[in-house]
Structure 1
Amino acid sequence: MTLGPDETGEIRLDTPTEWTSTVVGHHRLRHDIAVIRLIGEHVPFSAGQSVEVQVPQHPGLRRRLSPALPPSLDGKLEFHVRTVPGGWCSGSIVADTRPGDQWSITAPAGWLSVDDWATDVVMIAGGTGLAPLRSLLLNLSHRPEPPRTHLFVGGRSPRDLYASDMLFLLAGELPWLTVVPVVESADDPGWADQWYESCRVDVGFDVNEMLEGTLADVVGDMGPLPDHQVLVCGSPAMTVATVDRLIQTGTPAEVIRYEGI
């Protein structure tokens, strides 16, 4: 018998605190990015939260990842994983994950969420910081009146926008969503990425539709956002720089929620 919180935060008996999920898909999108899909026990997290995962390649080691899908009763999970420089665990997840692998899921946590009262939302995603924001977007789509939402998604170059096709299609399906792609350089690196070449599609944003600069600069140039709820997720450095710039340009700190990954 175990103790755990229910949906109201109350502790009750017989609530599992660890869940098992099986890898059913491993899709390498870039040399350093993979999308992992799993199915298994229902994990009671909230859209926008992260969970701790333990993979068979590294028993005993847990890494915190953010699901890119809202919770589902049929136990579907999706994670976007990027190799962290010097991070042997993330590199192994990207390169070595195989269908049939059993993952252990624990410890849902985090405070990225969109309040019911919000009518205008700005989401700012750097790299795989997109994952929890995508989960929130799909969750918002079930509201009777979703808030007007601008998603700024950033990368080093156009090739770095690994979910460009998915976001392009999603923006076409959701009339309340505007996606703004942002790149630090309009030119891709001069070396070939075999994974990018193998999954290249003709759907996505044209380079002429992309704003050039860092996410912090592009969003900061918009001026203050006092009437918006603002969510920021990405690398710790990107998150700190973006939040600092937002506050410097007049956005109240109390409307900003952020998570470094």
Structure 2
Amino acid sequence: MTLDPDQTGPIRIDGPTEWPATVVGAHRLREDLTVVRLIGEFVPFAPGQSVEVRTPQHPNMVRRLYPALPPSLDGKLEFHIRTVPGGWCSGSMVADTRTGDEWKIRNPAGWLAVADNATDLIMIADGVGLAPFRALLLDISRREQPPRTHLFVGGRFPRDLYAADMLALLANELPWLTIIPVVLDEQDPDWIDDWYESCRVDIGFQPEELMPGTLAEVVHRFGPLDLQQILVCGGAAMVQSTVEMLIATGTPRELIRYEGF
């Protein structure tokens, strides 16, 4: 594994190694979103990195996904996959992934990482941009003194906060973690998402906990964030607008690490 000397470049695993992994569960949570769990060979990525994935449905196509678990010696992997509008490959991964499918994993890369000396941490996640932060949270929970962490999670509607139950449980277990849910519209749309209805649970965010607005707007309300390390991940447009807002409100650029997709 190599890392740029100034710690600002992407982390990469040397060599073309490819690791197989077998799907042991594909859990459809929304019409456009599924969580896929796999077991296979140990993949030596760093928490917060993404990896290239090839599936049997599209063996000649590569998607870059973020593991939602830190590296596991027993080869456990988890990915959160959302359909990209107009993206037939992502749509097939959401709808057609089945237990027993063999995936190929390779080329870990990325620079979403928490500094060893971090004491305050801001994470800003749009949609499945939550996945690398989940891996990072589990990783830093092993530290003797984890940084005080505020995680902003955003979606258009309340039901787009697909991991509300998991986040509520994490926040209860980790006293240094605060979750701030953000939605553009405070009411779900009229159309029924059967997948959401079938997996609805009582654990999650209450309506009064939701902060209205875009992630960029909500972050702006907190004023200059200049004493924390800040990580941003999600759709490219959200990432760009949020980073621009952070800088405009006084956050030094060098405190921000971000990746969009």
| TM-score normalised by structure 2 residue count | 0.95
Structure 1 CA distance, aligned partners of 2:87 and 2:157?
Answer: 22
- Cα offset, 1:220, TM superposition: 1.4
- Cα offset, 1:207, TM superposition: 1.1
- Cα offset, 1:212, TM superposition: 0.4
Structure 2 CA distance, aligned partners of 1:45 and 1:11?
Answer: 7
Identity among equivalent positions (%) equals 67
The residue aligned with 2:19 is 19
Q: Does 1:137 align with 2:127?
A: no
Structure 2 CA distance, aligned partners of 1:49 and 1:68?
Answer: 10
- Cα offset, 1:113, TM superposition: 0.4
- Cα offset, 1:226, TM superposition: 1.0
**Inter-CA distance 218–6: structure 2 relative to 1 (3 Å threshold):** closer
Give a deviation string over 1:15-46, Cα, whole Å, max 9, x none: 77100000000000000000000000000000
Structure 1 CA distance, aligned partners of 2:20 and 2:254?
Answer: 37
Structure 2 CA distance, aligned partners of 1:234 and 1:260?
Answer: 5
SS class of match (1:205): coil
SS class of match (1:168): helix
Give a deviation string over 1:167-220, Cα, whole Å, max 9, x none: 001000000000010000111010000000000000001011110000000001
Structure 2 CA distance, aligned partners of 1:82 and 1:220?
Answer: 27
One-letter amino acid of the counterpart of residue 39, structure 2: I
Structure 2 CA distance, aligned partners of 1:143 and 1:168?
Answer: 21
| TM-score normalised by structure 1 residue count | 0.95
SS class of match (1:225): coil
The residue aligned with 1:109 is 109
> What are the equivalent positions in structure 2 for 1:145-160 lying under 5 Å apart?
145-160=145-160
Structure 1 CA distance, aligned partners of 2:207 and 2:85?
Answer: 27
Q: Does 1:99 align with 2:94?
A: no
Contact 2:53 2:62 (8 Å CA) reproduced: yes
SS class of match (2:58): coil
Runs of 5+ in structure 1 lacking a partner?
none
> What are the equivalent positions in structure 2 for 1:1-261 lying under 5 Å apart?
5=1, 17-261=17-261
- Structure 1 stretches of 4+ with a deviation exceeding 6 A read 6-12
Structure 2 CA distance, aligned partners of 1:182 and 1:207?
Answer: 11
Contact 2:12 2:108 (8 Å CA) reproduced: no
Structure 1 CA distance, aligned partners of 2:161 and 2:84?
Answer: 17
SS class of match (2:59): coil
Give a deviation string over 1:64-108, Cα, whole Å, max 9, x none: 000000000000000000000000110000000000000000100
- Cα offset, 1:117, TM superposition: 1.1
- Cα offset, 1:120, TM superposition: 0.3
One-letter amino acid of the counterpart of residue 240, structure 1: Q
One-letter amino acid of the counterpart of residue 237, structure 1: A
One-letter amino acid of the counterpart of residue 241, structure 1: S
SS class of match (2:219): helix
